[in-house]
Amino acid sequence: MTDAPASQFTPRVFSGIQPSGGLTLGNYLGALKRFSEMQNEGRDCIYCMVDLHAITVWQDPDKLRHNTRELTAGFIASGVDPEKSILFNQSAVPEHAQLAWIFNTVARMGWMQRMTQWKDKAGKNAEKASLGLFAYPALMAADILVYHATHVPVGEDQKQHIELTRDVAAKFNHDYGVDFFPMTEPVIEGAATRVMSLRDGSKKMSKSDPSDASRINLTDDADTIAKKIRKAKTDPDALPSEAKGLEDRPEARNLVNIYAAFTNKTVDQVLAEVGGKQFGEFKPMLADLAVAKLSPISTEMARLLDDTAEIDRILARGAEQAREITVPILKKTYEIVGLVGA
């Protein structure tokens, strides 16, 4: 099989988040914080509100509009600067959906059936799930490859979709005898690539969990954040002084991971400081830290959301910049495939 290693391509970062509800601490530590750090390392970054992915399950149109603008405000408030990164919504750049169609003809049904996100979301009622939900990973591959993106920062849960993106690129390159699409690398880094529920250390923190106490929302005020951390499920033991001591303590490990991610320290560095402390002492430290880091973000989000016209202008400009990249790549793809008039 012809592989086009990412290293042959100019390094370029792409990632996306669905505007399907509020942002959580998981989105912040697993994605947004990393996005702004990669931008500040001087990399070429493209970030997208994936509204076409959101509608693979029903969305109220007014809420979708609101959530797209709120998510944009969340990106900017977390440090993504539209002067440095390209920031836009997926539906405004039609080449994503156009390339996704080509990839629907490249990807195999069996590949999609193996996706754990599909199995989780469709559940036992797969017959009733939308065709779009099934094809979701082909659109995600298109999001990435329509920029020839080489690096995709995501949380742990998205790793399988990035592997599928590589499979799509490899099969396209092989079937058409080209080295056109890169083998994109996932970037899953930091102490909090999988932030867990505050109520159950075996479940991912998620905006769709019915219990609001299970998550910290980026729009929560300082009192709510502190209260949720105080009430977070833990065990009765003191904190260990090394990471090994957290192995069978998922709730304790989660809180230490969160602390480490906020302070850009390793888990061992954090435990060297707080090992031996009881949760009665550690939780207020974590709550203060979380409030100090998150309050400025929620305040800035609220300020930005006061001017939706400005948010829409930022998105429109981002879409224009994005199309400078996507139009030529889609045209070349059509030529490779043999579509006349490309």
Distance (Å, rounded) from C-alpha 227 to C-alpha 64?
29
Query: Interface with ligand TRP includes 240 (CB under 6 A)?
Result: no
Q: How far is CA 294 from CA 47, 131, 135, 222, 274, in A?
A: 21, 37, 35, 8, 22
Site residues (CB under 6 A) for ligand AMP, limited to 28-67: 30-31
Judged by CB under 6 A, the stretch of 8-16, 59-67, 226-234, 298-306 that binds ligand TRP is 8-16
Smallest separation, CB 56 to ligand AMP (Å): 11
The residue among 15 and 333 lying less far from ligand AMP, judged by its C-beta, is: 15
The residue among 118 and 279 lying less far from ligand TRP, judged by its C-beta, is: 118
Query: Interface with ligand TRP includes 99 (CB under 6 A)?
Result: no
Active site residue 244: no
Active site residue 121: yes
Number of residues lying near ligand AMP (CB under 6 A): 15
Judged by CB under 6 A, the stretch of 140-148, 233-241, 295-303, 316-324 that binds ligand TRP is 140-148
Site string for ligand TRP, 50-79 (x = CB under 6 A): x--x--------------------------
Which single residue brings its beta carbon nearest to ligand TRP?
A: 16
Token look-up 């600067």 returns 81
Residues 72, 87 contacting (CB under 8 angstroms): yes
SS3 labels along the chain: CCCCEHHHCCCCEEEEECCCCCCEHHHHHHHHHHHHHHHHCCCCEEEEECHHHHCCCCCCHHHHHHHHHHHHHHHHHCCCCCCCCEEEEHHHCCHHHHHHHHHHHHCCHHHHHCCHHHHHHHHHHHHHCCHHHHHHHHHHHHHHHCCCCCEEECCHHHHHHHHHHHHHHHHHHHHHCCCCCCECEEECCCCCCCCECCCCCCCECCCCCCCHHHCCECCCCHHHHHHHHHCCCCCCCCCCCCHHHHCCCHHHHHHHHHHHHHHCCCHHHHHHHHCCCCHHHHHHHHHHHHHHHHHHHHHHHHHHHCCHHHHHHHHHHHHHHHHHHHHHHHHHHHHHHCCCCC
Site string for ligand AMP, 189-228 (x = CB under 6 A): ----xxx--------xx-----------------------
Active site residue 128: no
Smallest separation, CB 15 to ligand AMP (Å): 6
Query: Interface with ligand TRP includes 16 (CB under 6 A)?
Result: yes
Distance (Å, rounded) from C-alpha 139 to C-alpha 145?
10
Query: Interface with ligand TRP includes 18 (CB under 6 A)?
Result: yes
Which position among 159, 203, 207, 277 bears the catalytic label?
207
Which single residue brings its beta carbon nearest to ligand AMP?
A: 30
* Residue 143 binding target from ligand TRP, ligand AMP, none, CB below 5 to 8 Å by type: ligand TRP
The residue among 50 and 255 lying less far from ligand TRP, judged by its C-beta, is: 50
Sign of CA dihedral 85, 88, 296, 260: negative
Query: Interface with ligand TRP includes 152 (CB under 6 A)?
Result: yes
Query: Interface with ligand TRP includes 161 (CB under 6 A)?
Result: yes
Of 26, 82, 182, 186, the one binding ligand AMP by CB under 6 A: 26
Smallest separation, CB 17 to ligand AMP (Å): 4
Judged by CB under 6 A, the stretch of 14-22, 100-108, 120-128, 306-314 that binds ligand TRP is 14-22
- In degrees, rounded to 5, the angle at the alpha carbon of residue 334 between the alpha carbons of residues 332 and 338 is 115
Which residues carry out catalysis? 121, 204, 207
Residues that bind ligand TRP (CB under 6 A): 14-18, 50, 53, 140, 143-144, 152, 154, 158, 161
Q: Which residues contribute to the site for ligand AMP (CB under 6 A)?
A: 17-18, 26-27, 30-31, 154-155, 157-158, 193-195, 204-205
